[in-house]
Chain A
Amino acid sequence: MKCEDIKIALSEFVDNELNFNKHSAIKEHIDGCEQCSREVDNLSTLKNQLARFESSLSSDFEFKLHQRINKVNHKSRFHKFLPLAASIILIVPLVHYLAFMTAVTMLDGSIHELKYIGKTTSSDDEQFHKWTQLDDSNKKLACSGSAAGSDCFVEIPYVPGV
């Protein structure tokens, strides 16, 4: 074998990545070739120098890692509830809007907000009468009837933005 053919495979030879036959052929050549032998020495020395390369972590490495993992956990918990939070943020105003807008009605040409205050029951006569004696002259009581189970609302003049 020529040196040029050998040199291509010297790296693999040093790394022990060649099959037995090829390894033996190169070994035989190296034993009789000073130039290739020196090249193998260089490669081996380079390999050994790097094998001895040392590095050491700081003593607080694991403490810092622990802190960062806790942050990751905190974030992942937040992300888990993010869709729920987003749903609430979107749904609550929607529900409020629907509930609020349905309770606004037109009375005597002006807008009145109807605030639901409850149903009358058979034993609520006293309560019912209390509701009818509202002090605020702007508020009126609107009930579907005085019988038990009637829905009662307070009419409040609606002022947008209040």
Chain B
Amino acid sequence: MNSVFKGKLDSNIKVEPFKNQDLSKPSDKILIDQFLNGSRGSYEEIVQRYKERIFGFIYFQVKQHKHDAEDLTQEVFIELYKKAAHFRNESKFSTYLFSIAKNIVLNYFRSSSRRFSLYKIFHKGEEEKAINLQEQYLFEVDQKQVVLALNRLPVDERQIIYLCDKEDFSYLQISEILNIKVGTVRSRLSTARKKVISSLREDNHEM
């Protein structure tokens, strides 16, 4: 069986989801406490820390529709603004915030599946073209294929792959975000990856 990837594995690339966190800065928990005591600046600091990560997660889930992704990202931070007091220190703040994002994305898909959409009618089959090559894939054509293959997955599998591979959350953290068992994370992730690799094989006619 041949590799579905043309390029060599780049072992120098490391996922650094927390690279923006600086130990000299106040922790998320401190910022949330300050916000609950009336500090709007602390809330804005939280937005600064997480806006790109949350947007990236949502952008990936909604198949690179930027306008919808930004709108939903704003909803996540509005939800945080209204319900910050619900955050308990039992889990990491990032886990809590991503679970809000997950729910908002699921609601988006539920409501959009019920909604009559002229856009869907006129753009049927053109979804894959929504990806902006110039914006996203200057450096790697293979990445486009990977993203297109991932876009064919159901949303729950897309979420799990993104949280693991892009955000580098542990299986335990993913189970907290998605509110599922660790065993389900394990099996769903494995199944999703098999589907993607199989889809890439078909695209490349390398059966």
Which A residues contact B (CB, under 8 angstroms)?
8, 10-12, 15, 17, 35, 38-39, 41-58, 61-62, 64-65, 68-69, 72, 76
**Once the chains bind, are B197 and A42 in contact (CB under 8 Å)?**
yes
In the assembled complex, 21 residue pairs joining A and B whose CB atoms fall closer than 8 Å, in A order, are A11-B186, A12-B190, A43-B193, A44-B9, A45-B7, A46-B5, A46-B146, A47-B15, A50-B162, A52-B139, A53-B166, A55-B60, A56-B52, A57-B51, A57-B52, A57-B73, A61-B70, A61-B74, A64-B70, A69-B78, A69-B81
Chain A residues whose CB sits within 8 angstroms of the CB of B81 once the complex forms? 69, 72
Q: Which of B163-207 contact A (CB under 8 A)?
A: 164-166, 168, 170-171, 186, 189-190, 193, 196-197
Chain A residues whose CB sits within 8 angstroms of the CB of B77 once the complex forms? 65
Dominant secondary structure at the B interface: helix
**Once the chains bind, are A53 and B60 in contact (CB under 8 Å)?**
yes
**Once the chains bind, are B146 and A50 in contact (CB under 8 Å)?**
yes
**Cα–Cα distance between A62 and B70 once the two chains are bound (Å):** 10
Which B residues contact A (CB, under 8 angstroms)?
1-5, 7, 9-10, 13-15, 44, 47, 51-52, 55-56, 59-60, 64, 66, 69-70, 73-74, 77-78, 81-82, 135-136, 139-140, 142-143, 146-147, 150, 161-162, 164-166, 168, 170-171, 186, 189-190, 193, 196-197
**Once the chains bind, are B9 and A51 in contact (CB under 8 Å)?**
no
Number of A-B contacts (CB under 8 A): 113
**Closest Cβ of chain A: how far from B184's Cβ, in Å?**
13
Residues A52 and B1 in contact in the complex (CB < 8 Å), given A11-B190, A46-B197, A64-B74: no
**Cα–Cα distance between A55 and B72 once the two chains are bound (Å):** 15
**Cα–Cα distance between A12 and B164 once the two chains are bound (Å):** 11
Of all A-B residue pairs in the complex, the 8 with the closest CB atoms, nearest first, are A50-B165, A11-B190, A51-B15, A49-B146, A55-B59, A45-B5, A47-B165, A55-B56
**Cα–Cα distance between A57 and B66 once the two chains are bound (Å):** 8
Chain A residue nearest to B2 (CB atoms) is A38
**Cα–Cα distance between A61 and B4 once the two chains are bound (Å):** 38
Partner of A52, one of B78, B135, B140, B186: B140
**Cα–Cα distance between A65 and B77 once the two chains are bound (Å):** 8
**Closest Cβ of chain B: how far from A14's Cβ, in Å?**
9
**Closest Cβ of chain A: how far from B67's Cβ, in Å?**
9
**Cα–Cα distance between A46 and B112 once the two chains are bound (Å):** 29
**Cα–Cα distance between A45 and B9 once the two chains are bound (Å):** 6
Chain A residues whose CB sits within 8 angstroms of the CB of B47 once the complex forms? 62, 65
**Once the chains bind, are A50 and B78 in contact (CB under 8 Å)?**
no
**Once the chains bind, are B197 and A68 in contact (CB under 8 Å)?**
no
Chain A residue nearest to B136 (CB atoms) is A54
Partner of A38, one of B1, B10, B147, B168: B1
**Cα–Cα distance between A10 and B194 once the two chains are bound (Å):** 11
**Cα–Cα distance between A57 and B72 once the two chains are bound (Å):** 12
For A53, A57, A68, the residue with the greatest tally of chain B CB atoms inside 10 Å of its CB is A53
**Closest Cβ of chain B: how far from A140's Cβ, in Å?**
62
**Cα–Cα distance between A112 and B7 once the two chains are bound (Å):** 99
**Once the chains bind, are B3 and A42 in contact (CB under 8 Å)?**
yes
**Closest Cβ of chain B: how far from A5's Cβ, in Å?**
14
Chain B residues whose CB sits within 8 angstroms of the CB of A48 once the complex forms? 9-10, 13
